[in-house]
Amino acid sequence: MKLALVGATGLVGQEVLKVLEERNFPFDELYLVASAKSVGQSMEFKGKKYTIKSMEEVCNLAPDVAIFSAGGNTSLEWAPKFAEKGTVVVDNSSAWRMDPTKKLVVPEINGSELTENDKIIANPNCSTIQMVLALAPLHTKYKLKRVVVSTYQSVTGTGKDAVQQMMDERAGIDGAKVYPHPIDMNALPHIDVFQDNGYTKEEMKMVNETRKILGDQTIGLTSTTVRVPTMGGHSEAVNAEFYNDYDLAEVRDLLTKTSGIIVQDDPKNNVYPMPLFSKGKDEVFVGRLRRDESQPNTLNMWVVADNLRKGAATNAVQIAEYLMENVLAVK
């Protein structure tokens, strides 16, 4: 089993390495890839030193699986080249998510759709993953009609430079800026670039990806995504309208029994999900479950997850695990 990690020095790449170690992911050879300036440098993983290789060198080594966490342009250029060598690429960028010929996968929901013919597999957007994991069992039971979601997203979703901007501002240092405005003590209703319809690319990702993952283009969705000065994970206020009415106790039971979800819903004792306590955890946390009293068949919930873990690294590794266990000949 030859495994490659592209983008090994970035925030998500570093998290992938942690997840690989924690889950004891089986491999015989590991190839680490980073930007040209990092090639030749060494990184330690599980007590062993690895030399960072170039993209071209690793592509020619034809790994069995390659996890890409190096941005959309890199994925567009190199994922097909790896696929031509027989490598299965699990891509963390947005490059292939809406390509009708590529699967967009959250293993707990639609991992069973993967086949040996899938050579480029898209990892969904971080904010989409945590929402659909909570919505999927409810959609199966009650059928979603419309979803309204507002997000409160960690600076870690932008990367190391964004974290540095926030910490610089907090320390009173005039450093490099990633955002067009201060982020510390602020909230920016601006994630990714604005589109012609007035929504940001992040907001439209949530709309389009949710429909694709759940396999239902009839679901009405609207999204407002906001960057907030937190580092533990992303939070979402989700308002879900169903065609069929639900029982709140049954909703709690369904979510409690869903793999990858932890229900934290005891507001009388101040128990509800928070990004600070999702940090470093693979589960999606759901709470503040309550009926929307303004219209029928509608549920409010608060959904929190570590965007670098289940929102990126963990989901990618889970896809690779699923491939090894169910699809690939390599064991």
User: Active-site positions?
Assistant: 126, 234
What are the phi and psi torsion angles at 145 (to 5°)?
-105, -45
From first CA to last CA, the distance across the chain in angstroms is 7
Neighbours of 141 (CB within 10 A): 13
Structure tokens at 318: 């889970």
Nearest to 251 by CA among 205, 300, 209: 300
Structure tokens at 157: 């979703």
Whether the CB-CB separation of 256 and 173 falls below 8 Å is answered with no
Neighbours of 263 (CB within 10 A): 21
Using CA atoms, how far residue 256 sits from 77, 109, 223, 230, 285, in Å, is 41, 15, 25, 27, 10
Residue pointed to by tokens 């009609």: 145
